[in-house]
Amino acid sequence: MDDCCSTKAGVRHSPFNYIPLLLIPFFITIYFYLERGVDFLVYAVLGLDRSSHLTESIRFFLYDTPKVLLLLTVIVFVVGIIRSYFSPEKTRKALEGKPLFVGNVMAACLGIVTPFCSCSAIPLFIGFVESGIPLGVTFSFLIAAPMINEVALVLLFGLFGWRTALLYLATGLSIAIISGWVIGKLKVERFVEQWVYEMKAGDIRMPEEQVAFGDRIQAGYTAVVDIVSAVWIYIVIGIAVGAAVHGYVPENFMASIMGKAAWWSVPLSVLIGVPLYSNAAGIIPILQALLEKGASLGTALAFMMSVIGLSLPEMIILRKVIKLPLIVIFLSVVATGIMIVGFLFNWIY
Amino acid sequence: MKIEILGTGCAKCHKLYELVLETIKTEGIAADVSNVQDIKKIMAYGVMTTPAIVVDGEVKVVGKIPTADEIKRLLGSK
């Protein structure tokens, strides 16, 4: 078919679709000049006292908020484009017939890039089980999908640096892979609600349509609007609290509660973190401030993972398809994995 | 024309339902729109991400809210 003149193509290949792409270099430029700009504003324009706590807090807030929001916009946009190449249906096809361990690794990795929201956890779960994907592999996907998300990675990168972001990615993946594998070995099939097995899932009959790159950019743009509009407020509040802690809470204040010496802080963080349901956006800026005041990295990571990765609402949704014992197994296996990561990092650093 | 909106009751599904109703009204399309919440029926279409649009038994859109233009195109092409 002539690809430029049909009415369909006319709608889709609008040059306006490419505008967001042009904004990226502009954003990156701002990002690199931001610190100097904020310093100039705080010290030269506003003439604030360099040594006061208030100045420290204001500078921290004025610098970190736009920095994180800029990073977030760019990354969410790029991830939105990448995600448009994936779908749960394709992921299911890719996972079909894969042996256990390989399947776990693939499922965890696909969990990061496949667009997924916990409200479609059930159709996804049934879809996976129906096509014969082992439960352990399905769980690897369900663990990785919420735990490793672009918002968490951006915040970790922006506030802690690339090492911590990478660390989070690697340990999150390991937990998803190993927990799924362990669950697979435990032979938990009998804890799946019977009706799930009785269901007949159809094969989707949707023509694989050619998607223009302009449409993918549009998908990235939509992702930015959706995600940034949902999380910006948490980020601003989180950074504001972080800024206050940064300027006012004394050094090493957290050391006794969340420090290395207190071994019990890791399991405690996980216990508190599981029922707490927050997105990465609100929790990470506060965590940064805590780390600065003497909390240890392992404890902080464990807390963050249990808040983001394990959530009560998701368990309640999953309860419709799996019986309580499996929910408990799922929770304990993942929580154990998170604690091991916490201990490991407290021990290394 | 028979239009089914598949969704387990999430916010996006309701939004899509409203959007389709509105499009039909403004475009003057004669169609029977229904909101399918039964997970078994949803699965029967092989759909794993909601919301989804099914037109005359054929899955058209999965896992997203299309723009008003896309919906018009979807329904108008019949």
pLDDT tens-place string over residues B20-72: 888 888 888 888 888 888 887 888 887 887 788 888 888 888 877 887 778 88
B73: which chain A residues are within 8 Å (Cβ-Cβ)? 8, 11
Residue A204 lies in a domain: no
Res A8: pLDDT: 38
A8: which chain B residues are within 8 Å (Cβ-Cβ)? 73
B62: which chain A residues are within 8 Å (Cβ-Cβ)? 87, 89, 204, 206
The CB density around residue A63, as the number of other CB atoms within 10 Å, is: 19
pLDDT tens-digit profile, chain A (349 residues)? 333 333 333 344 566 667 777 777 888 888 888 888 888 888 888 877 777 778 888 888 888 888 888 888 888 888 888 888 888 888 888 998 888 899 999 999 999 888 877 667 888 888 888 888 999 999 999 999 888 888 888 888 888 888 888 988 999 999 999 999 999 999 888 898 888 887 766 666 565 566 778 778 888 888 888 888 888 888 888 888 888 887 777 777 777 777 777 778 888 888 888 777 666 777 888 788 888 888 888 888 888 888 888 888 788 888 888 999 999 999 999 999 999 999 988 887 7
**Cα–Cα distance measured from residue A247 to residue A58, given in angstroms and rounded to the nearest whole number:** 9
Q: Provide the domain limits for residue A139.
A: 88-199+232-349
Residue A60 lies in a domain: yes
Q: How far is CA B56 from the centre of its chain?
A: 11
The closest of A5, A202, A314, A194 to B62, measured between CA atoms, is: A202
Could you tell me if A129 and A236 lie in one domain?
Answer: yes
Annotated catalytic residue B20: no
Res A207: pLDDT: 57
Q: Number of folded domains in chain A?
A: 2
Could you tell me if A81 and A131 lie in one domain?
Answer: no
Residue A24 lies in a domain: yes
- Measured between CA atoms, the residue of chain B closest to residue A199 is B40
Could you tell me if A178 and A240 lie in one domain?
Answer: yes
Residue A22 lies in a domain: yes
Give, for B60, the enclosing helix (H) or strand (E).
strand B58-62
Minimal Cα–Cα distance from B59 to chain A, Å? 6
- Cis omega before residue B51 (within 30°)? yes
Domain end: A67, A85, A103, which one?
A: A85
Res A210: pLDDT: 66
Residue A77 lies in a domain: yes
Domain end: A41, A67, A85, which one?
A: A85
> Do residues A210 and A6 make contact, with C-beta atoms less than 8 angstroms apart?
no
- Above 70 in pLDDT, residue B77? no
Residue A160 lies in a domain: yes
**Cα–Cα distance measured from residue A347 to residue B6, given in angstroms and rounded to the nearest whole number:** 50
Domain end: A85, A105, A133, which one?
A: A85
Res A7: pLDDT: 36
Could you tell me if A268 and A326 lie in one domain?
Answer: yes
Residue A278 lies in a domain: yes
The closest of A271, A280, A258, A283 to A345, measured between CA atoms, is: A258
- Measured between CA atoms, the residue of chain B closest to residue A203 is B46
Could you tell me if A43 and A190 lie in one domain?
Answer: no
Res A151: pLDDT: 83
Annotated catalytic residue B13: yes
CATH of region B2-76: 3.40.30.10
Q: What b/e string do you get for A36-59 counting C-beta neighbours within 10 Å, with b at 16 or more?
A: eebeeebeeeeebeeeeeebbbbb
**Cα–Cα distance measured from residue B11 to residue A303, given in angstroms and rounded to the nearest whole number:** 29
Res B60: pLDDT: 82
Could you tell me if A131 and A40 lie in one domain?
Answer: no
Could you tell me if A195 and A124 lie in one domain?
Answer: yes
Interface test with B, best of A206, A215, A318 (most B CBs within 10 A): A206
Res A326: pLDDT: 93
Which residue stretches of A40-161 are H helix? 53-83, 88-95, 100-113, 121-130, 135-147, 150-160
Q: Which among B13, B42, B54, B55 is annotated as catalytic?
A: B13
